[in-house]
Amino acid sequence: MKKMILASTSTIYGSTYLDYIKDEVKLLFSNSKKIIFIPYARPNGLTYEEYTEIASSFFITLGIKVNGIHEYKDLKKAITENDGIFIGGGNSFLLLKTLIDNDLINDLKEAINSGKPYLGTSAGINICGPSIGTSNDMPIVHPTSFKAMNIIPFNINPHFLDANTNNKHMGETRETRIKEFHFFNSQIVIGLREGSYLSIYGERIILKGNKSARVFELNKKPYEIEINFNLKNLL
Amino acid sequence: MKKMILASTSTIYGSTYLDYIKDEVKLLFSNSKKIIFIPYARPNGLTYEEYTEIASSFFITLGIKVNGIHEYKDLKKAITENDGIFIGGGNSFLLLKTLIDNDLINDLKEAINSGKPYLGTSAGINICGPSIGTSNDMPIVHPTSFKAMNIIPFNINPHFLDANTNNKHMGETRETRIKEFHFFNSQIVIGLREGSYLSIYGERIILKGNKSARVFELNKKPYEIEINFNLKNLL
């Protein structure tokens, strides 16, 4: 049975790293002693060691050991040997490229579909859908494909932001961008606001947190779904 | 002699399409009777016809005929037959992919380097640097490469936005993203704010408009350059 927490952001304003979902994360990894952390997205250009240390400092408070994947020679073994997976945020292009270059997409997919608990934040949830085509990130490196793990049947747009009607900036709104995405892609896109997350156990995909989410379907007007909605009903 | 106007945006707040650079555009195309418009970036999913019509409505006021490249069977001829080029904004990934798929990168580069006047706005200036790696756009389609025309020796970040210190949103600032870009790329990045543009005649690359620009160099603290600065001095 699939077990995943997919959070729009690792940190909400005025709080500390992962603190707002601490209880959910504890529950997700309740049978895990050691988990593998994949620091490939490198926010702010952090080194793998520095980033793993941040994740580790949080998980130590739950009595869980964090192993950085870069500490392993055999990366595939790193996934099978640990009893949980956490992929942190940063740059989605860099994350996907590094996963592709290391041939880890299928291994991760298999492990997660087989029930290994998975926590993802930001870029770490972009890669769970069919593609990273709704990422907000800057294309700082070129992956050979935008296809991602396709573990959930829709794309996510993390850090979703509503248009600011007072804004004098002429760049596209998030909603306009997702509309443009749908000229070339057909999958549903979930605009997941900061403070909200998806809790996935088996077939149930429940919206949790403190904000409604925005659903973008091809050829439909975007609409809101409320907390506790089961996204399975969209499919 | 190269002749280019590279504008951060086509439209500034409270004004109409291209109006704020009308005099510059008039000067740029003072010897042009007909220009080719490349609508591939398709903002808001506009059709090629609709987008070309917008460009055309503006240029008609200067007595210049606009031909959409989609009206030609021979796309390479479309570039050589017209006496000016305008590439409008929209999605940089889509623009670059369509240019690559139609094998037009080298033809455009050759025409522009030979002195055919070029106007670019937003996505239309992203493709003038070494890569589209500092685009703000959503990766709605996958180009086989992020390498662009490389007519100017630095990347541009159009619609450059300063960090809003009151913002409670935890997504990365533009400055953080460009810093991340420099972990994997070495070229200078120019953060070009809306209302500003580069006027390029031969070797002179002058910042014009109403706002300073922000310069990001590898391993240096970002800094501002003022209006009338010659960016040739950065190289």
What is the full per-residue pLDDT of chain B (235 aa) written as tens digits? 999 999 999 999 889 999 999 999 999 999 999 999 999 999 989 999 999 999 999 999 999 999 999 999 999 999 999 999 999 999 999 999 999 999 999 999 999 999 999 999 999 999 999 999 999 999 999 999 999 999 999 999 999 988 776 667 767 789 999 999 999 999 999 999 999 999 999 999 999 999 999 999 999 999 999 999 999 999 8
Which residues in B lie closer than 8 A to residue A177 (C-beta atoms)? Answer: 137-138, 140
Average pLDDT, chain A: 95
| Side-by-side strand order, sheet with B213-216 | B155-157, B189-191, B213-216, B223-225
What pLDDT does B117 receive?
A: 98
Question: Predicted confidence band at A173 (pLDDT cuts at 50, 70, 90)?
Answer: confident
Beta-sheet strands, E only, within A155-195? 155-157, 189-191
Name the residue facing B159 among A93, A136, A171 (closest C-beta). Answer: A171
A36, A78 contact by CB (below 8 A): yes
ipTM of the complex: 0.94
Integer Cα distance of B87 and B116 in angstroms: 13
Residue B207: phi, psi to the nearest 5?
Answer: -75, 125
- How far apart are alpha carbons A17 and A12 in whole angstroms? 8
Per residue, the 3-state secondary structure of B6-21, as one string, reads: EECCCCCCCCCCCHHH
Q: Beta A189-191 vs A155-157: how paired, if at all?
A: parallel
Which chain A residues have a beta carbon less than 8 Å from that of B9? 170-171
Nearest residue on chain A to B89, judged by CA atoms?
A: A171
Between B7 and A165, residue with greater pLDDT: B7
Whole-number Å distance between alpha carbons of B114 and B148: 18
Q: How far is Cα A44 from Cα A50, in angstroms, rounded to an integer?
A: 11
Give me Rg for the CA atoms of chain A: 17
Rounded CA gap, B86 and B91, in Å?
15
Contact A145 B142 (CB under 8 A): yes
Residue B156: both structure tokens together: 């541009």
Interatomic CA distance for residues A172 and A194, integer angstroms? 20
Residue of A9, A140, A177 with shortest CB distance to B133: A140
Q: Catalytic one among B19, B107, B159, B212? A: B159
| pLDDT (tens digit per residue) in B148-181 | 999 999 999 999 988 776 667 767 789 999 999 9
Provide, as residue numbers in chain A, all residues whose Cβ is less than 8 Å from the Cβ of B13: 168-170
Tokens 């800094």 sit on residue: B223
Which of A12, A96, A156, A180 best probes binding to B when mutated, by most B CB atoms within 10 angstroms?
A180
Sign of CA dihedral A108, A113, A114, A118: positive
Give the residue ranges of DSSP H helices in B85-220: 92-101, 105-113, 123-126, 174-181
| Residues in chain B within 8 Å Cβ distance of A137 | 172, 177
Task: Read off the DSSP letter of residue B24.
Answer: H
| pLDDT of A14 over the 90 cut | no
Q: Which residue of chain B is at minimal alpha-carbon distance from A168?
A: B13
Looking at residue B175, the DSSP 8-state letter turns out to be: H
Question: Residue ranges per domain, chain A?
Answer: 3-234
The structure tokens listed for A51 are 């980033």
Q: Using the beta-carbon criterion (under 8 Å), do A139 and B161 form an inter-chain contact? A: no
The amino acid occupying position A66 is V
Distance CA B67, CA B78 (A): 8
CA-based radius of gyration for chain B:
17
CATH topology of domain B3-234: Rossmann fold (3.40.50)
| Residue A89 distance to chain B (closest CA, Å) | 10
Higher pLDDT, B173 or A108: A108
